[in-house]
Amino acid sequence: MKDSILFQSTQLGPYTLKNRIVLPPLTRSRSSQPGNIANDLMAAYYRQRASAGFMVTEGTQIEPRGQGYAWTPGIHSAEQVEGWRKVTDAVHEEGGVIFAQLWHVGRVSHNSLQPGGEAPIAPSAIAADNVSVFIETAPGAGALAPPSVPRALTTSEVKEIVQMYAQAARNALDAGFDGVEIHCANGYLVNQFISAHTNHREDEYGGSLENRLRLLREITQAVAEVVGKERLGVRFAPLFASTDEDRVYLGLVEENPHETYVEAIKILEEVGIAYLSLAEADWNNAPELPETFRSAVRSTFSGKILYAGKYTAERGVRVIEAGWGDLVAFGRPFIANPDLPTRIANDWPLNPVDPSTMYGGTGKGYIDYPTYE
């Protein structure tokens, strides 16, 4: 497929990407403890995959309360910034482009992961159902647990969160990142404000769709002022679910996901960000995004559009050639195949993923996947 559109260069803000294949955010839980610090192992992992046209880090929490899983890295301390510098230096030495994903899990956390063992924070004091977090049970050992009941943020605390995102963006620049992506998907904090299922507030951040999108607008504007709109992306995960149970479980959509996300994307277009990342559901028999929605996104947003979620190279080519998107991300294939672009270009077979080494651990199942011989 070396002659396919996947291997045509494209412009992303100030960066000329060598191909349209993206390493998307992939939680791997390998940060050094204590302190949730990016390390040499992580630098090796990202260096191996720098042949991607564009890379986005695993979610990195913007403050201590933003953590929902053991051993995930942060970007709020000086030690964390220094750790991430190892990663960005490694990627840049290979000619890669890498953005940091700024993450706050909100209610999807556990008291044991929170400072002082306090309750997680959320738009409203509603516990997350049918989802698990990962907590440390002993040094180097962990287990799944249900999220703790959160407490609702005050209005002034919400405004403080906006400034925490801006500071995390400054930290990302200090760490050498080429830009940042704001994680607004998968039922985490910004998504919790957007969703009527999880946002029962009665202040300026709740009620109408305009109010529920206010935090998104304020964070995006604040971060754009720090990094520049041309170095900024936002990730959504719109789900056109078939049942109410799916919608409540993920907290991802409204009764009208088309309207919710088109209105959200209008905000991103007003700010003028570089790209929009759409993470599609990736479980078996998951609903695909309707063509009417893809077309509405394309007509609403003038920046680059990135799709992710169980994509094959062939499906990625179809999405780009149809005009719906510009970039395609490959998650699990990139975990198991550090040389993924070369394999796709030459139609070489792919290594399978070892699911037992996805989260936590050592270099096994992390930096020891072979390149094609």
Could you tell me how far CA 164 lies from the centroid of its own chain?
17
Q: Specify the pTM.
A: 0.97
Residue-wise pLDDT tens digits, 23-73: 999 999 999 999 999 999 999 999 999 999 999 999 999 999 999 999 999
Residue-wise pLDDT tens digits, 347-366: 999 999 999 999 999 999 99
Q: Measured between alpha carbons, how far is 99 from 55 in angstroms, rounded to an integer?
A: 6
- Which residues, in sequence order, are bridge partners of residue 327? 306
CB 155 within 8 A of CB 203: yes
CB 357 within 8 A of CB 366: yes
Residue-wise pLDDT tens digits, 113-158: 999 999 999 999 999 988 899 999 999 899 999 999 999 999 999 9
* Structural domain boundaries in the chain: 5-357
Alpha helices in 123-256 (DSSP H): 155-174, 189-194, 209-212, 214-227, 244-250
The pLDDT of residue 2? 84
pLDDT of residue 232 exceeding 90, the answer is yes
Q: Measured between alpha carbons, how far is 8 from 221 in angstroms, rounded to an integer?
A: 31
Q: Does domain 5-357 have CATH number 3.40.190.150?
A: no
The pLDDT of residue 243? 57
Q: What angle do CA 118, 126, 108 make, to 5 degrees?
A: 60
Residue 261 appears among annotated catalytic residues: no
The pLDDT of residue 244? 54
Tokens representing 219?
Answer: 């964070």
The pLDDT of residue 225? 98
pLDDT of residue 251 exceeding 80, the answer is no
- By the 10 Å C-beta count (0-12 exposed, 13-18 middle, 19+ buried), 348 is classed as middle
Q: DSSP per residue over 247-262, as a string?
A: HHHHT---S-HHHHHH
Average pLDDT over residues 254-261: 88
Q: DSSP per residue over 31-57, as a string?
A: -BTTTTB--HHHHHHHHHTTTSSEEEE
Which of 5, 2, 78, 6 has its CA nearest to residue 35?
78
Q: Measured between alpha carbons, how far is 367 from 348 in angstroms, rounded to an integer?
A: 20
Helix (H) or strand (E) holding 92: helix 78-93
Q: Measured between alpha carbons, how far is 372 from 274 in angstroms, rounded to an integer?
A: 33
SS3 call for 126: coil
Could you tell me how far CA 174 lies from the centroid of its own chain?
20
Give me the catalytic one of 188, 307, 366, 369: 188
